[in-house]
Structure 1
C-alpha cells in the first residue's frame, strides 16, 4: 500500500497483456511510503486488494515519518483520479504515438531475430557452408539486442504448459493457513497442559492432610466452631475454578432458592472457563 505520486520512465522491461502477448514498456510508478518516494515497475504492482497487515504497515510508516495519514476525502479523490484515467478518451494522435513507441521498444529488445540468425548459423555449420557461416556471423555481430530489466523477456515461456509457480497472494494464503493450524495446535496443547494441572490441584485439594481430620465427640456430633476448620489441609482452588463452582452451584437452584439435582463439573466445563489468551482463527 502506498500513495501514487506520478509516473516516470526508466530502464525498459517486458510485461504481458491480458491475452498473454508480451510487450516492452519503460514506464514506472512513483510511490510514496511515508517520506520515502521510490520508482516501481508495473510488474511489482498488484491488482489485488491490500490486506490488514499491509494497511497497518503503511499507517506505522506514516506515523514514524511524521506524515499525515490520508483522510477518506483524499482517498476518494485518488479513486476519482484513477477512474478518470481509466475512462479517459484517447485522441488519435495519442494512440498513434503509443503504438509507435511500443513498436520501437519491441524491435529494439526483441531477440527473436537473433534467435532466427543463430538457428540458420547452426544449420550452416552442420552443412559446412563457410561462406554462409561468415555471412550469418557478420549479421549477428551487427545485431545488438540489449537485455531487458528485471530479467524479463519477450520470448514465450517454454514452461508455460507446466503448473505455474504460486503467486505472492497464494503464498500468503498458504502461510496464513499454516499459522492458523499452528495456533490451533498451540491451543490444543495448552488445554491439555491446563487440564493436567487442574486435575493435580483438585486431587491435592480433596486429599486430607495428616492431622487435618476433625475429631468427633462421643455423642457423634461435631464440636461447635469446627465448621470453619473443615478446609484445613486443603489447597485453595484457582480463582477461575472458584468462580466456576459458584456459578455451577447457583445454576443448581431454582428461582425460590430450593436446591435442584445438578451434574458435577467435568473437563469441558473447566476448559470452557479457561482464558488461554490465545487468539485462534480457523477456517
Structure 2
C-alpha cells in the first residue's frame, strides 16, 4: 500500500510538471526520482518485474578476446595468396595483423605490434614472395592502426606468427587510453563468415583471367622465355667480342625486370636476401669433391692439349724430313686410310714416289668340279645325246648328289 501511494504521488507530480512545461519531458531530477522509485518497486516485488515480464538481454556485445582476434588475423603468406581475390579488401577490413615495427635497440630482436586493418591503398610497386618461393609484384599496402596511430605498411612486414598475449594486452591498453573503440566479439564473428566465404568462393572464367592479369602470372611465364633467348644472344655476343651488342642485350634484359622496386626488393633472390646457410659435414665434403673434380677435369684437358701440340710438332718435323724422337708409349689416334699408299708397298720412303702400273685383266679360272658332280653331269649329257625324244630335264636333287659320292664303305654279307 505504501508503494502504491508513493507511485501515485510521483504520477501526480509528473502530470503537474508536464502541464507547467507545456507538454515537455520532466527534468533530470524527476527522472532520477523515477529511477529511484523503480528500484524501490523492484525491492518490494522481490526482484521480479511487474506484469510477469522477464528482463531483456543486454543489446551490446563484450569486447573481442585474443581467440577472436586470431580468427580474423592475416600474415604475409595469406596476403600473397588472397590479395588478388575479388572481395578481398572488404573481407579483411576490420581484421588484425602483427606488424614488425623494427628491431629492439638493446636485444636486437624484432619488435611486433598488433594493429587493426582500416583498409588498403595503392603505392609504389614492391616484390612479395608466395608460399612456394615464387615472387611477384604488387602495389597494395595495408592501412593498419594501433590506437590512433595509422600508417600504410607493405604486406611483407606482416608476420605469419600469431599475435601474442602481451601484444594483445598492449593494444587493448593503448585503445583504452586513447579512447579508441575496440571491435566486439559479435563483429568479429560476422567477419569470420565473410573470410570463409572469400576463401571457399567459386570462380568464373572472367574472374580467373582478371586474377592472372593482376598477379602477372602470364607475363612472368613469357618473360622467362624472353630472358632465356636474350641470355643466349648475350653469350654469343661475348664469344664474338661484340661489346656494343652486349650492352644492347643487357639493356633489354634490364627492361624485362621493369622499374626499380621499392624497399630494395627484387624478383630474383640474392645471397644477401636468402641469408647465410649453415653447412653440414656432408655439404662441406660435397663442395670439396666438386672442386676436386673440376681441378681434375682442367688438368686432363691441359694434358690433352699438350699431347695434341706435341703430336702436331712431330708430324710437321717428319713432313720436313727431319729426325724426330717419337714416344711410342703415347696414345695414337687411329686414322682411316681412304686411298692406297704406294710408298708402303714399294718401301721407297715418303720422299720417293713410285710409278703405278696399270693392272692387267685376266679371265677368271674356273673352279675345280668335284668328281661326283662331274660324274652326274656326264650321265645327264649321255642321256641327252642318246635319245631323240624330247624329255623334261630333271634338276639334281640332294639324293642324287649323295648317291654319287663314293664314301669307300664296304659291306660284307
Q: TM-score range by the shorter chain?
A: 0.3 to 0.5
Which is greater in Rg? 2
Q: Bigger relative contact order, structure 1 or 2, given CA contacts below 8 A and separation 6+? A: 1
- TM-score for the superposition, normalised by structure 2: 0.33
| TM-score normalised by structure 1 residue count | 0.46
